[in-house]
Amino acid sequence: MAIADGSITSSFLTLFGRSARATGLESERVNELASRQWLYMLNSAAIQSKLQNSPKIRAIISSGKPHEIAEKLYLTILSRFPTEAEVKAAEQHAKAGVVKGRDVWIDLAWALINSPEFLLRH
């Protein structure tokens, strides 16, 4: 069994409140939401890349009708079904034609992970 090297740092985990590896106490973890975390989520090329290349998101997008795609994205990201108003907004965004194809649904996924609901509950 291999134990991960504790000297390797992660700016992402540090930004989101990981406690020091030496102790790993949960009481040392910072659970408060900071503005720099919001900015990271909004502007991160890494987050955008993960959404673009996610096999799960790809499978959801290729799974069917706009209503079904919106429902599956909400279930996957927020762990709940969307309201009718949310489904309607997603379908209107898809029909508007501002963004085409799968990018419509990548936009929705990005919006969901940047929502206060996701950031405060997950």
The tens-digit pLDDT sequence of the chain (122 residues) is: 666 666 667 777 777 776 666 666 666 666 666 777 778 788 888 888 999 999 999 999 998 889 999 999 999 999 999 999 999 999 999 888 888 888 999 999 999 999 989 887 76
Cα 103–107–108 angle (5° rounding)? 120
* pLDDT value for 76: 96
Q: What is the pLDDT of residue 101?
A: 85
| Average of per-residue pLDDT values in the chain | 84
User: Residues for the chain: how many in total?
Assistant: 122
Q: Spell out the domain ranges in the chain.
A: 33-121
Distance from C-alpha of 19 to C-alpha of 70, rounded to nearest angstrom: 35
Closest CA to 68 of 87, 96, 94: 87
Query: What is residue 59's predicted lDDT score, i.e. its pLDDT?
Result: 94
Which long-range contacts does 76-85 make (Cβ < 8 Å, 24+ apart)? 77/109, 77/112, 77/113, 77/118, 78/112, 78/115, 78/117, 78/118, 78/121, 78/122, 79/122
pTM of the entire predicted model = 0.74
Q: What is the pLDDT of residue 19?
A: 64
Integer Cα distance of 87 and 84 in angstroms:
5
